[in-house]
Amino acid sequence: MKFKVFNATPEESQIALNWGKVHNVDIETTPHLLTMDELPGLAGIDGIINLQIGQLEPELYPALNQLGIKQIAQRGAGTDMYNMALASANDIIITNVPSYSPESIAEFALTLALQLIRKTEDIRLRIEAHNFRWENVICGRVLGQMTVAILGTGRIGQATAKMFKSVGCRVIGYDLYPSEQMEGIIEYKESIMEAVEEADVISLHMPPSPETHHLFDKAMFERLKPDAILINTARGALINTEDLLEALDLGLLAGAGIDTYEFEAPYIPKDWTGQPLEDQTFEALIHHPKVIYTPHVAYFTDEAVKNLVEGALNATLDIVKTGTTQNRVN
Ligand code: NAD
């Protein structure tokens, strides 16, 4: 049995090779993306593990079917880069790895909150200028005395709630389906508005949907406490970024920790060193003094990478052996 891993870093390749030894599967890895150019190298391959960023070329679905390949295992939770109708029409099963380390994202949300509250960026900039004075602009607040609103209390929201609770915060929250397991940790509110109006820290953990699209817009920012901070490690489309930048300038909130930006796709994860960014809103976001911006790295830990690679390999093995897997998307 032989599997091929596309778009693989040296670290991911090593994890896959180790997995192959344990499961008695030959593993070939490549840094190349999965494109039509790769078809000649797929002869004799039983399974594909991929990290697709843009849309998969439509011609690939029938071409893979002709080669007898039955699946593509995406190393990630999202699968919107695949055309499910085309995949199903060509008997290709797309699988994902729905949960690979909620704690990684939760810890990053906590990190962004602490960085903003303790003004670590301002302190760093002053140190670079050799200004070591203690002045009010770098005076922090105590996170443990704050009320934190968790919006979306699924896998990542719950892990984040536990972390804020562990430092002494009062944790409130909202979800369409409140979790009984969070009793004693999250005090559920009846509406998003009720939660955000009380919050010193708001941490977003909902999926993108018509209901959550630009949930944080001008009208919402007007309802926040002026010293509140907003953390988004979920999806960029939850926030109207232009409204956020205006609200920060007007003092409607104190700061924002942004790991996901609505129109990040052309830029992430790529090296744009020395090149201008065409997206002026993105440029304004990353340079705003009240924003800590990070390029969708909340998940990016050694633990998450290992779980992603092994999760995709396990799903591939399931399909090759049994014809299906619990992580199939179509
Ligand atoms: P999940 O499905 O486990 O939880 C999502 C929760 O949101 C669910 O409890 C659901 O009921 C709730 N929800 C959905 N629509 C809602 C609405 N309109 N109002 C209130 N609640 C609503 O998902 P998860 O694995 O916890 O992921 C949460 C978010 O984190 C997703 O947007 C995901 O894309 C994102 N994410 C980001 C990174 C990163 O690196 N930044 C990594 C993984 C996931």
Residue 148 sits in which domain range?
102-293
pLDDT value of residue 80: 86
In a domain, 316, yes or no: yes
In a domain, 329, yes or no: no
Instruction: Strands of 219-296 (E only): list them.
Output: 229-232, 255-258, 291-293
**235 in catalytic set:** yes
Residue 236's CB is within 10 A of a number of other CB atoms, namely: 19
In a domain, 182, yes or no: yes
Ligand 1 centroid, distance to 202 Cα (angstroms): 14
pLDDT value of residue 82: 97
**223 in catalytic set:** no
What are the DSSP calls for 237-254, one per residue?
A: GGB-HHHHHHHHHHTSSS
In a domain, 328, yes or no: no
Q: Which two tokens stand for residue 147?
A: 């009320």
Nearest to 313 by CA among 221, 35, 305, 223: 305
Residue type, 263: F
Ligand 1 centroid, distance to 12 Cα (angstroms): 25
Q: What share of the chain is helix, strand, coil (3-state, %, to 5)?
A: 40, 15, 45
Q: Mention every residue, 6+ apart, whose C-beta is less than 8 A from residue 30.
A: 4, 5, 6, 7, 8, 38, 41
Domain identity same for 106 and 94: no
Nearest to 81 by CA among 60, 64, 66: 60
The best mutation among 205, 238, 293, 303 to test binding of ligand 1, ranked by most ligand atoms within 8 Å of the C-beta, falls on 205
Give dist(CA 88, CA 280) in Å, integer.
39
Asked whether the bond before 289 is cis by omega within 30 degrees of 0, the reply is no
Domain identity same for 95 and 189: no
Place of tokens 């998450």: 304
Domain identity same for 187 and 287: yes
Ligand 1 centroid, distance to 150 Cα (angstroms): 11
Q: How many domains does one find in the chain?
A: 2
Domain identity same for 94 and 115: no
Domain identity same for 263 and 202: yes
Domain identity same for 56 and 86: yes
In a domain, 261, yes or no: yes
pLDDT tens track, the chain, 330 positions: 999 999 999 999 999 999 999 999 999 999 999 999 999 999 999 999 999 988 999 999 999 999 999 999 999 998 989 999 999 999 999 999 999 999 999 999 999 999 999 999 999 999 999 999 999 999 999 999 999 999 999 999 999 999 999 999 999 999 999 999 999 999 999 999 999 999 999 999 999 999 999 999 999 999 999 999 999 999 999 999 999 999 999 999 999 999 999 999 899 989 999 999 999 999 999 999 999 999 999 999 999 999 999 999 999 999 999 999 999 999
Domain identity same for 61 and 92: yes
DSSP 57: P
In a domain, 96, yes or no: yes
pLDDT value of residue 290: 98
- Angle of helix 280-287 relative to helix 241-250, nearest 10 degrees? 40
Asked whether the bond before 269 is cis by omega within 30 degrees of 0, the reply is yes
Q: Which two tokens stand for residue 260?
A: 């996901």
Q: At 22, which helix (H) or strand (E)?
A: helix 10-23
Domain identity same for 20 and 150: no
**Which one from 235, 262, 288, 310 is the annotated catalytic residue?**
235
Ligand 1 centroid, distance to 204 Cα (angstroms): 8
Residue type, 269: P
Ligand 1 centroid, distance to 205 Cα (angstroms): 5
Residue 263 and residue 236 in contact, taking contact as beta carbons nearer than 8 Å: yes
Residue nearest to atom 44 of ligand 1 (CA): 234
pLDDT value of residue 281: 98
Residue nearest to atom 43 of ligand 1 (CA): 299
Give dist(CA 225, CA 60) in Å, integer.
51
Domain identity same for 129 and 201: yes
**Which one from 118, 141, 170, 296 is the annotated catalytic residue?**
296
In a domain, 120, yes or no: yes
Residue 323's CB is within 10 A of a number of other CB atoms, namely: 10
Domain identity same for 89 and 137: no
Ligand 1 centroid, distance to 36 Cα (angstroms): 33
In a domain, 327, yes or no: no
CATH number (domain holding residue 119) = 3.40.50.720
Beta-bridge partner residues of 26 = 2
- In this structure, the residues whose C-beta lies within 6 A of any atom of ligand 1 are 77, 99, 105, 152-157, 174-177, 205-207, 209, 211-212, 233-235, 259-260, 296, 298-299
Domain identity same for 163 and 308: no
| Atom of ligand 1 at shortest range from CA of 233 | 41
Residue nearest to atom 23 of ligand 1 (CA): 154
DSSP 279: -
| Atom of ligand 1 at shortest range from CA of 158 | 26
The best mutation among 176, 190, 268 to test binding of ligand 1, ranked by most ligand atoms within 8 Å of the C-beta, falls on 176
Domain identity same for 59 and 155: no
Angle at 70 between CA 64 and CA 75, to 5 degrees: 90
| Atom of ligand 1 at shortest range from CA of 177 | 11
